[in-house]
Structure 1
């Protein structure tokens, strides 16, 4: 084994339970490795700070005369000294790692995985994921006629008339703006959360038999995923796969996977580009390519039929979910929890009113997460879950301002335009201003509404927009509208970030079709 493998090998975080380790074991570097690693870590922090403050540093050094010829030998000596410290620290790290049984076992497993393209032995270890070999590359599916080949590649152009505003918007979104929308991509936050993420992965792997995979996207990002296979559980929901898309500061290690896992579904979690082990940035184009690759991985590598897949998104993960649903329309259903209609209406109130125009340009041009618009491209079963005490997508926790209300009304108005006229929309808004439990319908009313839907869908099909109700009275439309609202939306009496209880997660409702059915 080359000594350079120890010097430049990945960080080892944990060794999972196995033959050699009856209990999970956090990797503890020896004193030699630890000392060398501390020096390298300190130099890394100094370099990062220096990089971001370089204009100030260069100005200071220039005024002190460090860039004149007489000062160059001093700078050269300083550079040489720092270089020597780095070399000694790297050597110490290599020596320390070579003395570790756990690290040597990991390096052997990593080498074997790269040679044999098998990660089985490596799965005993939690390492820096950048060193993990690719398990599935979506580019290998080029020319696959069975699956969509849509790729989210976008070309942005500037308009001369609005050039100043667009330039400011571009700079804002590509500096601090994207980090504000996706704070989970901030490395400092990830460093703070690393112990929780490591522990969360360990639980999923050891207690739920999770398997970690690296999926490579069409734009060459590497996506960190984890799969839990419950297909052998004949009494559970294991034949159905739930693909989970996390929120803007969520990670699969500590995220929404827990809900479908408890219900014994097979579950596939993934991290957005730039989150934890995933490379890239959470720009819409990269995020679309990421979820596309994850779905292809589920179909082509894990062996699930698209009809057996439920797409589950929480908060901003609803955008990823709806994008996947739009290009994989035959999925079993879509579940959206605490999801909004349009990120623009969440971004504008959080910025000064004077910057409203720039915010609009930045969102519409570079981060247009418009779920209401995207939902119109999916015709399948859809379940929306609204948090009644949501403090993130509602103003002052007021249920009537919850952006999930607008998403629900937008979806229903598009799908059933004749049933959701002005009168029905007003009734629906009034109903959504309070908890849905305040409205109920009788068994007879439910049967009547179902009969009307089944009759129409059986005769005309159930593609959307569905034109049922053109000849209905206003009272009949209102009855149908309230019925459909309750079928598509459920209330959970909680805030935005709490774990969703299992009783609120279910396969979305769909209109059954009975050929030859006649409503009387």
Structure 2
């Protein structure tokens, strides 16, 4: 038993905090000096080995140029070089061995760690049924998430279908008339695009997956989890996605606290955002139940944030919310901030009965943004990179979703625009609204005057919108009356889009109707991209058909 406990202390996970409760005050884990020093040595050794592995091709080339390694039929290596490598490897191995041993001894003398590792190992030995009643003990600790047992698997859901794994919309357009010669000519470009996508491309689009950044923000993530667990009674869960990625999530249950808590807000973070410090704070302050999750490769989540992994992750998150947490689709709002609008809109398209979709500081398609932010010389590389590996097209998802949508535009946004000189006019949230209206209200948007007026309405902030609406005599009651009459008369379009309203209306009426609808789908927030969203801006998306139904019952 002693040997087993000692081994657990040697190879066990890092412990960060012992959470507080109503009876106990939370405290950060205080590692003894020897454990801290040993842990630092282990991390240095791991970093050195990692650097050595990835730099080995360059190192081998250098050694060959120096004549230490020859590439003749009988490959030879300098004896001096071999002895140096052996000595260096031996020193590293000894240092690692001593560090692991010292860390184990130090942890054995730390009561907090001994208590924690005994709880962890006891729970791991339990059956899934037994774990359900005992995992509350594990929730007392914040530790290396790689060691956390899986709480929910994608195939435990009633929606699970092994024959149809989650997938993004088609990312590659293959031409049937491509000849072998054309494919050979394109091969160097395709290889270059693949290499860029797997290296700097992914890191530029999702900087939160970079290890160095995560190391820098790690203290803030621990502090954020402390706030969610100890102040909001949050529960951390590990979900297993269909592609094998493990997804780090945090759930705050408000169902017993208020009527607002009966609605769950699933939060999809930005490209450098984590649920510990991200957009979960806004719905929490409005008393909604909240489920946050980290992108693949972010925080405790494994994998890499490519589109196919992203949709697999959000898919298991929604399944978990419905099958494990007990929320119906109709009581779920999905909120996406920035690049999180991609996964949020995919989830809305895939689970169309949700209560609504909120897109905050999002884009319609990443392609125009990528081309605007990158040097023009990079265009031949950017286009195939986005098209083949990061086809993040939010509006394509919205074309397949008929539920309520709220678009939040930040008028000082320095990221989601294609021109720094006209940040509001070129904000891609405008394009989301235009494309959404063309799909949902096609007859209205066929009129050039309507499009021109809507473009003017979007070119400025709230005061500009109020001025134009006043000049165009927009009356909400009259607009609702027109919509109510049309939906009542048109049985086929009573509760679905596209809505063919506007055919027999005058141009002025079409303009009034389009501006009224825009005010219900679109909200301005006079701030920059990363400013926290205030609670007064956050609201449930407007449901046209419910509004008509409720007005009919009055």
Which string of whole-angstrom CA distances, capped at 9 and with x for unpartnered residues, describes residues 271-327 of structure 1? 010001000011001100111100000000000011000011101101110000001
Do 1:436 and 1:486's aligned partners in 2 also have CA atoms closer than 8 Å? no
Matching of residue 404 in structure 1 with residue 429 in structure 2: yes
Out of 74, 98, 103, the position equivalent to 1:93 is 103
Aligned match of 1:65: 68
Query: Counterpart in 2 of 1:8?
Result: 11
1:219 maps to which residue?
A: 243
Q: TM-score, normalized by length of structure 2?
A: 0.88
**Does structure 1 residue 452 correspond to structure 2 residue 482?**
yes
Residues in 1 aligned to 2:191 and 2:449: alpha-carbon distance in whole angstroms:
44
Alpha-carbon distance in structure 2 between the residues aligned to 1:275 and 1:71: 40
**Could you tell me which residue of structure 2 aligns to residue 332 of structure 1?**
355
Q: Which runs of 5+ in 1 are unaligned?
A: none
- Structure 2: 5+ residue runs without aligned partners? 70-76
Q: Which moved more, 1:53-62 or 1:177-186?
A: 53-62
Aligned in 2, Cα 1:148/1:261: closer, same or farther, shift over 3 Å? Answer: farther
Contact between 2:495 and 2:545, CA under 8 Å: does it hold in 1?
no
Matched with 2:282 is 259
Offset at residue 142 of structure 1 (A): 6.8
- Corresponding position: 1:318 with 2:341: yes
Matched, 1:152 2:167: yes
Q: Could you say what the CA RMSD is over the residues aligned between the two structures, in angstroms?
A: 2.3
CA–CA distance in 2 between the matches of 1:302 and 1:516? 30
Describe the shift of the 1:479–1:58 C-alpha distance in structure 2 as closer, same or farther (beyond 3 A): same
Match of 1:413 in 2: 438
Displacement of 1:135: 0.3
Alignment partner of 1:175 out of 196, 199, 203: 199
Aligned to 1:419, the other structure's residue is in SS state helix
Deviations 1:228-260 (CA, angstroms, capped at 9, x unpaired): 0000013x4000000000000000000000100
CA contact (8 A) 2:159 2:319 kept: no
For residue 127 of structure 1, what is the aligned residue in structure 2? Answer: 143
Q: Quick check: 306-315 or 132-141, which moved more?
A: 132-141
Contact (CA 8 Å) 2:341, 2:359: kept in 1 or not? yes
Q: 1:391 to 1:18 in 2, by over 3 A?
A: same
Q: What is the distance in 2 between the residues matched to 1:462 and 1:19? A: 48
Out of 506, 522, 525, the residue aligned to residue 492 of structure 1 is 525
Partner residue, 2:74: none
Query: Structure 1 residues 266, 149: closer, same or farther in 2, change over 3 A?
Result: farther
Structure 1 residues 433, 230: closer, same or farther in 2, change over 3 A?
A: same
**Aligned in 2, Cα 1:156/1:381: closer, same or farther, shift over 3 Å?**
closer
Q: Decide whether aligned partners of structure 1 residues 177 and 208 sit closer, same or farther in structure 2, where only a CA change above 3 A counts.
A: same
Tell me if structure 2 keeps the 8 A contact 1:457–1:511.
no
Normalised to the residue count of structure 1, the TM-score between the two structures is 0.94
Alignment check: 8 A CA contact 1:166 1:358 kept: no
d(CA) in 2 for partners of 1:195, 1:221: 24
Q: Secondary structure at the match of 1:380?
A: coil
* Alignment of 1:465 onto 2:524: no
- Tell me the CA shift for residue 114 of structure 1: 1.2
SS in 2 for 1:490: strand
- Secondary structure of 1:325's counterpart equals helix
Which of the residues 43, 53, 56 maps onto 2:58?
A: 56
Matches within 5 A, 1:24-35: 24-35=26-37
1:391 maps to what in 2?
Answer: 414
Structure 2 Cα separation of the partners of residues 195 and 170 of structure 1: 34
Using the TM superposition, give the Cα deviation of residue 19 of structure 1 relative to its aligned residue in structure 2, in angstroms.
7.8
Which of residues 114, 123, 127 is equivalent to 2:124? 114
Post-superposition CA distance 1:66-93 (Å, at most 9, x none): 7324542343233223212211111111
